[in-house]
């Protein structure tokens, strides 16, 4: 089948939860297809590499590019040479590809060509430059940690100075490094250096069984454990050729919307706190705790870890549980209404929120911003609406959009989404079908599956592949923060340094997710 009027012949994959197409391409075709997709305003979903040399004579490495087309998910695979592998630089087409390419470089040793940025990304001088952890012949090894001298871009001129922040941040936050170039109070440039929490997750996946892999996928980014577990389960189910029972899918949606609500509540609280409204923090943290406790009571874990498993879910809900959740929705809706009025009417808060950290819709489109941050800048990306998997095809959620792209817009999208998710939860409780909650998934050798789920930050993507023993050969988990982090570098320009914590919080991106 042909897509975007290009010559490439795509194969439709048997991947029930995610309509997907795949093709092997050469470098020219990859560039042309990506350019056509970009022109059609379709985003890059993920980019990753793999070692294929064990497949036999003539095999080298491979670069995989996943794109979001209106038809579904498209995966282009470019075979790379076994010796000195390299691939064309996609960053001129998709700027967000920059860091992903550098991660490919660090993990399998394939280089982006031409003028591409070839500074290391995940490797911080703590293992040798010729140790590539995702190559099949890389030995298990530990190396001496070294201080890294990273080539930050320098801004020069009268009165310009640098402020270095991190990796350990001032608050209770994940580690990262921010290098600000400032004059006086205003920021000329921010450069991020991430990868500090890189734990070698992708290498860890290798050789795991499908169910062990599910636990690991649920711990890539703990605040999005439900979304990761669901995306991983979709991929595992494609491999095992299993469709979970309908009730399991509705329960998954229930857990996912609860995760979204819980995280948005926390963020709304911290946004208040960052403008010195501790009242907001305490109120929203209280509401968040109420929901987290109910998770523990009904589903046995405060964050619902390991509750979504390949084949279905491990928890069910009875009529009492449904009633409790319905009552909880009503309470939260009332509280949310009262607190939103307070936020709306608070002059000090609005003064700090409005026009701060702006990403205009045009800039968002150029940068390729997706997810919640994209929606706050008028970008219509929400998998639940654009490529709904069951039960979202029946739930038909309403996409929450704002156009100002400032801190206020990102707060408004969160308010809107909590409200929308409450409605979804109620609908799920009303319409959830009866029946089984789990089917058995047996792994199959040499299979590939994709999973793609709209977490609270944006779309989480999982590409899973089994080897000839049915164990995991390659698992790539992709966090939407990859695509949104670069936008933060733009959002801070011309803002004052003291507004950075607020702007950063309004995005609240993951470090652990993309660091892997």
Partner 1 sequence: MFPMLRQIFRTGIVSEPAPDADETLRATTQRLSEVMLRQLGRALVIRQIDAGSCNACEQEIHALSNPYYNLEALGIKFTASPRHADLLLVTGPVAKNMEIALKRAYDATPEPKLVVAVGDCGCTGGIFGESYACCGRIANVIPVDVSIPGCPPTPLQLMQGILAAIVPEAMQEEKV
The interface partner of residue 11, options being partner 1, ligand SF4, none and the CB cut-off 5 to 8 Å by kind, is none
Residue 201 burial (CB count, 10 A): 18
Token pair 């997907």 in the structure block, residue: 20
Q: Which residues contact 337 (CB under 8 A, 6 or more apart)?
A: none
Q: What is the dihedral of CA 202, 207, 209, 214, to 10 degrees?
A: -10
The interface partner of residue 246, options being ligand SF4, partner 1, none and the CB cut-off 5 to 8 Å by kind, is none
Token pair 């001298």 in the structure block, residue: 149
Minimum gap (Å) between residue 255 Cβ and ligand SF4: 17
Contact track, partner 1, 295-334, x by CB under 8 A: -x-----xx-x-----------------------------
* Smaller CB separation from partner 1, 32 or 126: 126
If one asks whether residue 7 binds partner 1 (CB under 8 A), the answer comes out as no
The interface partner of residue 382, options being ligand SF4, partner 1, none and the CB cut-off 5 to 8 Å by kind, is none
Minimum gap (Å) between residue 465 Cβ and partner 1: 20
Of 38, 219, 403, 426, the one binding partner 1 (CB under 8 A) is: 219
If one asks whether residue 283 binds partner 1 (CB under 8 A), the answer comes out as yes
If one asks whether residue 478 binds partner 1 (CB under 8 A), the answer comes out as no
d(CA 211, CA 204): 14
Residue 430: both structure tokens together: 């009303």
If one asks whether residue 220 binds partner 1 (CB under 8 A), the answer comes out as yes
Residue 416: both structure tokens together: 């809107």
The interface partner of residue 304, options being ligand SF4, partner 1, none and the CB cut-off 5 to 8 Å by kind, is none
If one asks whether residue 156 binds partner 1 (CB under 8 A), the answer comes out as no
Q: Which of 471, 425, 36, 51 is CA-nearest to residue 252? A: 425
Using the rule CB under 8 A, give the single segment among 94-102, 215-223, 405-413, 416-424 that binds partner 1. 215-223
Minimum gap (Å) between residue 390 Cβ and partner 1: 27
* Smaller CB separation from ligand SF4, 201 or 376: 201
- Summarize as ranges the residues that interact with ligand SF4 (CB under 6 A): 219, 222
* Smaller CB separation from ligand SF4, 232 or 415: 232
If one asks whether residue 351 binds partner 1 (CB under 8 A), the answer comes out as no
If one asks whether residue 152 binds partner 1 (CB under 8 A), the answer comes out as no
Minimum gap (Å) between residue 292 Cβ and partner 1: 7
Of 170, 320, 430, 440, the one binding partner 1 (CB under 8 A) is: 170
Residue 143: both structure tokens together: 């190396």
If one asks whether residue 151 binds partner 1 (CB under 8 A), the answer comes out as no
* Smaller CB separation from ligand SF4, 204 or 426: 204
Cα-based distances in Å from 134 to 182, 448, 487, 507: 39, 18, 29, 31
Q: Is the bond leading into 483 cis (omega within 30 degrees of zero)?
A: no
CB distance 42 to 69 below 8 Å: yes
Token pair 């509540």 in the structure block, residue: 265
Residue 296 burial (CB count, 10 A): 12
Using the rule CB under 8 A, give the single segment among 213-221, 237-245, 368-376, 492-500 that binds partner 1. 213-221
d(CA 74, CA 65): 8
Half-sphere exposure of 469 (CA within 13 A, CB side): 8
Q: What are phi and psi of 343, to 5 degrees?
A: -60, -45
Using the rule CB under 8 A, give the single segment among 86-94, 435-443, 487-495, 507-515 that binds partner 1. 507-515
Q: Which of 465, 489, 437 is CA-nearest to residue 134? A: 465
* Smaller CB separation from partner 1, 320 or 345: 345
Q: How many residues does the chain have?
A: 516
If one asks whether residue 140 binds partner 1 (CB under 8 A), the answer comes out as yes
Half-sphere exposure of 215 (CA within 13 A, CB side): 5
If one asks whether residue 153 binds partner 1 (CB under 8 A), the answer comes out as no
Cα-based distances in Å from 180 to 99, 153, 192, 222, 260: 19, 10, 9, 28, 31
CB distance 197 to 515 below 8 Å: yes
Using the rule CB under 8 A, give the single segment among 143-151, 237-245, 374-382, 424-432 that binds partner 1. 143-151
Half-sphere exposure of 214 (CA within 13 A, CB side): 23
The interface partner of residue 174, options being partner 1, ligand SF4, none and the CB cut-off 5 to 8 Å by kind, is partner 1
Residues that bind partner 1 (CB under 8 A): 124, 126-127, 131, 133, 138, 140-143, 145, 147, 167-168, 170-175, 195-201, 203-204, 215-216, 219-223, 225, 266, 279, 282-283, 285-286, 288-289, 292, 296, 302-303, 305, 338-339, 341-342, 345, 510-512, 515
């Amino acid at each position: 089948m042909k897509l975007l009027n290009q010559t490439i012949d795509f194969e439709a994959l048997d991947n029930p939860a995610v309509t997907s197409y795949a093709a092997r391409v050469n470098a020219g075709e990859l560039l042309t297809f990506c350019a056509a997709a970009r022109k059609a305003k379709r985003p890059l979903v993920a980019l990753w590499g793999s070692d294929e040399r064990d497949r036999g004579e003539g095999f080298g490495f491979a670069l995989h590019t996943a794109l979001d087309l209106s038809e579904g998910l498209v995966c282009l695979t470019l075979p790379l040479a076994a010796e000195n592998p390299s691939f064309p630089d996609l960053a001129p087409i998709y700027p967000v590809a920059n860091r992903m390419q550098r991660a490919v470089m660090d993990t399998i040793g394939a280089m982006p060509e031409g003028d591409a940025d070839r500074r290391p990304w995940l490797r911080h001088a703590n293992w040798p430059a010729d140790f590539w952890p995702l190559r099949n012949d890389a030995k298990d090894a530990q190396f001496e940690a070294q201080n890294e001298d990273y080539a930050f871009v320098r801004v020069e001129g009268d009165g310009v100075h640098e402020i270095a922040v991190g990796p350990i941040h001032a608050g209770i936050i994940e580690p990262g490094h921010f290098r600000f170039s400032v004059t006086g109070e205003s920021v000329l440039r921010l450069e991020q250096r991430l990868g500090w929490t890189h734990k070698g997750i992708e290498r860890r996946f290798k050789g795991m069984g499908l169910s062990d892999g599910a636990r690991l996928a649920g711990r890539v980014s703990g605040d999005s454990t439900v979304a990761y577990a669901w995306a991983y389960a979709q991929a595992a189910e494609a491999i095992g050729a299993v469709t979970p029972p309908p009730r399991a899918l509705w329960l998954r949606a229930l857990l996912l919307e609860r995760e979204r609500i819980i995280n948005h509540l926390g963020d709304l609280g911290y946004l208040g706190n960052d403008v010195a409204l501790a009242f907001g923090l305490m109120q929203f943290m209280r509401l968040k705790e109420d929901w987290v406790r109910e998770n523990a009571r009904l589903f046995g874990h405060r964050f619902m870890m390991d509750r979504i498993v390949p084949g279905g879910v491990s928890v069910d809900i009875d009529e009492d549980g449904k009633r409790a959740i319905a009552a909880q929705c009503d309470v939260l809706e009332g509280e949310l209404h009262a607190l939103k009025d307070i936020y709306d009417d608070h002059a000090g808060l609005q003064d700090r929120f409005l026009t701060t950290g702006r990403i205009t819709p045009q800039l968002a489109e150029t940068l390729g911003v997706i997810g919640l941050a994209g929606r706050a800048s008028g970008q219509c990306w929400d998998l639940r609406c654009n490529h709904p998997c069951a039960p979202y095809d029946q739930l038909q959620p309403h996409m929450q959009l704002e156009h100002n792209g400032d801190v206020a817009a990102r707060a408004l999208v969160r308010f809107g989404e909590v409200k929308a998710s409450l409605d979804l939860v109620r609908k799920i409780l009303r319409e959830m079908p009866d029946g089984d909650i789990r089917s058995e998934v047996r792994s199959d050798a040499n299979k590939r599956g994709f999973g793609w789920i709209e977490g609270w930050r944006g779309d989480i993507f999982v590409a899973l592949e089994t080897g000839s023993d049915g164990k995991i050969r390659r698992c790539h988990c992709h966090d939407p923060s990859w695509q949104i982090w670069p936008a933060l570098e733009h959002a801070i320009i011309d803002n004052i340094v003291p507004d950075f914590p607020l702007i950063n919080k309004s995005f609240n991106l993951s470090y652990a997710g993309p660091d892997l």
